[in-house]
């Protein structure tokens, strides 16, 4: 039959001449995805005197690598199809998406003002943050604050809301108070108000969020 003699022709997704640039394109996409994961999982070190730095951790490398194995292909795959218009367009799309993702992570997850508002809630407006360190660790994540300003209001509300589970002396700093939700409070060498808040799911963080976002101090 005549129609059986006709051969079906499918367009090639990748020509022989494009193989090298396609491999490079996907390798760059995977690398960018890994770097975005590292930025998302990095520790934030903020100082009112020195500014903000971001530090890569072993936990970030491990979990960022695992995330890249599962999702590293997504960014280059989405942008790959633009190469049928022009390769330059595919590269531009990947650059735009990468920069947009980095800016979104910075704005929502790594900006000191956003983190201070997230962890201190209504008390962020009455205290002054001299130093903040956000630790991203598996089952031991937390955030450290060294505070000034009107810390007595925060301290009074903290003591009224949470029951202290114990105290112990810290050399040259006075007593450290540990609360049942995992929060710890102590005085720094120069009398600063120091606070450590556990942020992993099993550490009572939901109770802390309810505390700092309540309508009024309890």
pLDDT tens per residue across span 54-110: 999 999 999 999 999 999 999 999 999 898 888 899 999 999 999 999 999 999 999
End-to-end, the C-alpha distance of the chain in Å comes to: 87
DSSP β-ladder status, 174-179 and 184-187: antiparallel
Instruction: Answer yes or no: do 117 and 201 share one domain.
Output: yes
Residue 2 maps to a domain: no
Residues 121 and 96 in one domain: no
Same domain, 87 and 117: no
Stated pTM of the model: 0.82
Residue pair 130/148 in contact (Cβ under 8 Å)? The answer is: yes
Mean pLDDT of 5-16: 53
The answer to whether position 12 is within a domain reads no
> For residues 187 and 196, what is the distance between their CA atoms, to the nearest angstrom?
12
E strands, 37-136, where? 43-47, 51-55, 127-135
In this structure, the answer to whether residues 71 and 131 fall within a common structural domain is: no
Are 43 and 129 in the same domain? Answer: no
CA distances from 66 to 30, 75, 142, 212 (A): 12, 16, 22, 34
- pLDDT(168) > 80: no
Is residue 101 located within the same domain as residue 120? Answer: no
What is the total count of domains within the chain?
Answer: 2
Instruction: Tell me, yes or no, whether 105 and 127 share the same domain.
Output: no
How far CA 33 is from CA of 51, 63, 97, 183, 214, in Å, comes to 26, 12, 11, 34, 37
Domain boundary (110, 143, 173) is at 110
> Which residue segment(s) compose the domain that 72 sits in?
17-110
Q: How many CA atoms lie within 13 A of 122 on its CB side?
A: 15
pLDDT in tens, 110-148: 999 999 999 999 999 999 999 999 999 888 899 999 999
């Amino acid at each position: 039959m005549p129609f059986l003699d006709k051969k079906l022709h499918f367009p090639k997704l990748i020509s022989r001449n494009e193989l090298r640039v396609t491999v490079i394109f996907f390798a760059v996409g995977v690398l960018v995805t890994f770097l975005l994961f590292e930025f998302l999982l990095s520790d934030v070190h903020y100082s009112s005197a020195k500014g903000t730095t971001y530090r890569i951790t072993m936990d970030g490398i491990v979990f960022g690598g695992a995330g890249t194995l599962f999702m590293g292909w997504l960014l280059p795959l989405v942008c790959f199809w633009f190469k049928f218009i022009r390769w330059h367009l595919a590269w531009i799309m990947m650059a735009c998406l990468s920069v947009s993702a980095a800016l979104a992570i910075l704005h929502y997850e790594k900006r000191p003002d956003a983190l201070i508002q997230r962890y201190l809630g209504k008390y962020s407006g009455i205290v002054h943050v001299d130093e903040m360190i956000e630790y991203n660790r598996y089952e031991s994540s937390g955030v450290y604050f060294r505070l000034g300003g009107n810390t007595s209001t925060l301290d009074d509300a903290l003591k009224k809301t949470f029951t202290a589970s114990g105290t112990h002396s810290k050399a040259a700093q006075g007593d450290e108070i540990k609360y049942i939700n995992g929060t710890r409070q102590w005085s720094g060498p120069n009398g600063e108000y120091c606070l450590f808040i556990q942020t992993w799911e099993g550490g009572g963080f939901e109770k802390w969020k309810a505390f700092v976002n309540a309508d009024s101090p309890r």
